[in-house]
């Protein structure tokens, strides 16, 4: 989830030509943006083996089963942001768990045949530990709380696009009868906490992001925020 602005939470009326669309037809652009912005708005510095498979594990459900509830923002016809909403967390969990063994098998196969770099080993071990941490943290959330993932390209991280996504996903939730959604944002030294509380909702959890901390070389914290969907726009 991208940075929210430090002051106003209103979407500027003089915004440049930004358009919201349903996700269908933009699947490859979403995949591109996921990779291009993986490390707090930047790509991973050096290639990680099997990263495309890892990305598909993260995106596949949203790009297929859950696509109807997901949106993208375009500028001059190019996707600059996406908002992925999961209204059925248990279905997503089942979908993911059916595919985790395949990725694990590929990683282990490369590991035992010495075809996995040390950086890749650290990446996948960190991702595994982070996933366990996230799984335990989400157990404290209501079962009817939707999950949201937002991502914005490096050139559009002023907060404006994130607010457009927030409002569009609020609308999706209202149409689905969903009253709350949760998201997770990576923060260096906790700088985004106040902006999240002001523009999104209550910050209910703070955990170290092992993978991002290693990739960034600084302490990166994962902030979990829960938003109450406004009854009207």
Least confident of 50-59, 113-122, 129-138: 129-138
- pLDDT, position 195: 87
pLDDT band (50, 70, 90) for residue 4: low
pLDDT at 12 over 80: no
**% residues pLDDT > 90 (the chain):** 79
- pLDDT, position 208: 95
- For helices 89-112 and 51-63, the axis angle rounded to 10 degrees is 170
The three-state (H, E, C) secondary structure of the chain, written as one string: CCCCCCCCCCCCCCCCCEEEEECCCCHHHHHHHHHHCCECCECCCCCCCCHHHHHHHHHHHHHCCCHHHCEEEEECCEEEEEEEEECCHHHHHHHHHHHHHHHHHHHHHHHHCCCCCHHHHHHHHHHHHHHHHHHHHHCCCCCCCEEEEEEECHHHCCCHHHHHHHHHHHHHHHHHCCCEEEEEEEEECCCCHHHHHHHCCEEEEEEECHHHHHHHCCCEEEEEEEEECCCCC
pLDDT band (50, 70, 90) for residue 17: confident
Two tokens, residue 37? 């912005």
CA distances from residue 120 to 18, 22, 45, 51, 108 in whole angstroms, order as listed = 37, 34, 12, 9, 11
Mean pLDDT, rounded, of the chain: 91
pLDDT band (50, 70, 90) for residue 2: low
Average pLDDT score over residue span 21-34:
98
Instruction: Using the structure block, give the residue that is written with the tokens 């694990």.
Output: 104
pLDDT band (50, 70, 90) for residue 155: confident
The total of other beta-carbon atoms located within 10 Å of residue 138's CB is 17
**% residues pLDDT > 70 (the chain):** 92
Average pLDDT score over residue span 38-58:
95
pLDDT band (50, 70, 90) for residue 85: very high
pLDDT at 15 over 60: no
- pLDDT, position 217: 94
| Order of strands, sheet of 202-208, starting from the edge strand that comes earlier in the sequence | 18-22, 71-75, 78-86, 146-152, 180-188, 220-228, 202-208
Average pLDDT score over residue span 74-100:
95
The CA dihedral of 190, 191, 195, 198, to the nearest 10 degrees, is 50
Full set of structural domains in the chain with CATH: 18-179 (3.40.630.30)
- pLDDT, position 159: 85
């Amino acid at each position: 989830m991208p940075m929210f602005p430090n002051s106003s939470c209103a979407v500027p009326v003089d915004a440049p030509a930004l358009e919201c669309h349903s996700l269908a037809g933009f699947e490859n652009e979403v995949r591109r943006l996921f990779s291009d912005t993986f490390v707090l708005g930047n790509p991973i510095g050096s290639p990680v083996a099997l990263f495309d498979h890892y990305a598909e594990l993260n995106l596949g459900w949203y790009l297929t089963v859950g696509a109807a509830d997901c949106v993208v923002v375009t500028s001059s016809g190019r996707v600059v942001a996406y908002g992925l909403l999961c209204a059925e967390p248990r279905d997503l969990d089942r979908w993911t768990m059916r595919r985790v063994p395949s990725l694990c098998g590929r990683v282990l196969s490369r590991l035992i045949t010495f075809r996995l770099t040390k950086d890749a080993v650290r990446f996948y071990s960190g991702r595994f530990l982070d996933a366990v941490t996230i799984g335990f943290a989400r157990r404290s959330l209501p079962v009817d709380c939707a999950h949201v993932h937002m991502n914005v390209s490096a050139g559009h991280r002023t907060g404006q696009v994130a607010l457009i996504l927030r409002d569009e996903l609020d609308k999706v939730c209202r149409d689905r009868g969903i009253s709350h959604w949760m998201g997770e944002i990576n923060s260096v030294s906790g700088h985004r906490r106040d902006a999240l509380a002001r523009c999104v909702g209550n910050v209910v959890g703070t955990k170290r992001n092992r993978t991002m901390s290693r990739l960034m070389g600084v302490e990166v914290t994962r902030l979990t925020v829960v938003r109450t969907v406004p009854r009207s726009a």
